[in-house]
Structures are given as C-alpha cells and as structure tokens.
C-alpha cells in the first residue's frame, strides 16, 4: 500500500505570494491533518479534515486554510506569505477521526519564503 504523498517536495516563493500544497493520504484513510515544522517551534498542528469537513484547527492565522476533497485528498493554502512561513509542512493521514488513531506522515513540502 502506498504511503502518504505530498507535492511539491520543495518550493521557493517570495513574500506576499500565495502557495498551495497537496497531500494524498494512504488509500482508505479518511482523516488528513496538516502540521508546520520549524527548528525553533517543532511540529505545530494546523488543522484536521475528515469527510471534507474541517474538524479541528490549531492556533494559526486565517492566512492558512485548507480543504479536503471527496477522495480524501487535501490541499493547504497559505496566502500573503511571510518570511516566517518558511518551514517544512507535513501532512498525516489516519483511518478515522478517533482519539487513538495512529497518524502516518508524508515526506513533507519544504517551503522557503524569500
């Protein structure tokens, strides 16, 4: 079974631009979560989608948004990019939206904002 895939793997943008990242979960998984990883802050939760609905949201500004499609694939969008948005963005999928579900991470998209 294929793992979680994310595209693109690397991205360079300039301040003020917007970016869309894509995540395809493991086949059969219905929940997709997004995280931002930076050296100083570690992994921080952005949001979780299940059945095309945002179920949980972390403490990030409204510039960060996402959506999930009927095939469980998810996209994350960041508008008006800032230098501090440079990070590794990780997507993780799990079977269901349950408290003890194990999440499986994709390889991430490394975003550099200049």
Partner 1 sequence: GQNIDQPTEMTATEGAIVQINCTYQTSGFNGLFWYQQHAGEAPTFLSYNVLDGLEEKGRFSSFLSRSKGYSYLLLKELQMKDSASYLCAVRAGANNLFFGTGTRLTVIP
Instruction: Kindly give the pairing relationship between strand 109-113 and strand 53-57.
Output: unpaired
Of residues 11-50, those binding partner 1 (CB under 8 A): 33, 35, 40-45, 48
Interface residue with partner 1, options 108, 109, 111, 113 (CB under 8 A): 108
Q: Which two tokens stand for residue 48?
A: 């979780």
**What does the alpha-carbon distance between residue 69 and residue 32 come to, in Å, rounded to a whole number?**
11
CB of 82 to partner 1, least distance (A): 21
Q: Which is nearer to partner 1, 44 or 79 (CB)?
A: 44
Sites of contact with partner 1 (CB under 8 A): 4, 33, 35, 40-45, 48, 56, 58, 90, 97, 99-100, 102-108
């Amino acid at each position: 079974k294929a793992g979680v895939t994310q595209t693109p793997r690397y991205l360079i943008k300039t301040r003020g631009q917007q970016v869309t990242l894509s995540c395809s979960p493991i086949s059969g998984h219905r929940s997709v979560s997004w995280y931002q990883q930076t050296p100083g802050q570690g992994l921080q939760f952005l949001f979780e989608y299940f059945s095309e609905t945002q179920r949980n949201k972390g403490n990030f500004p409204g510039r960060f948004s996402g959506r999930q499609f009927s095939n469980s694939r998810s996209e994350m969008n960041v508008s008006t990019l800032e230098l501090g948005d440079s990070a590794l963005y990780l997507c993780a999928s799990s079977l269901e939206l349950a408290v003890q579900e194990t999440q499986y991470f994709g390889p991430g998209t490394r975003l550099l904002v200049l």
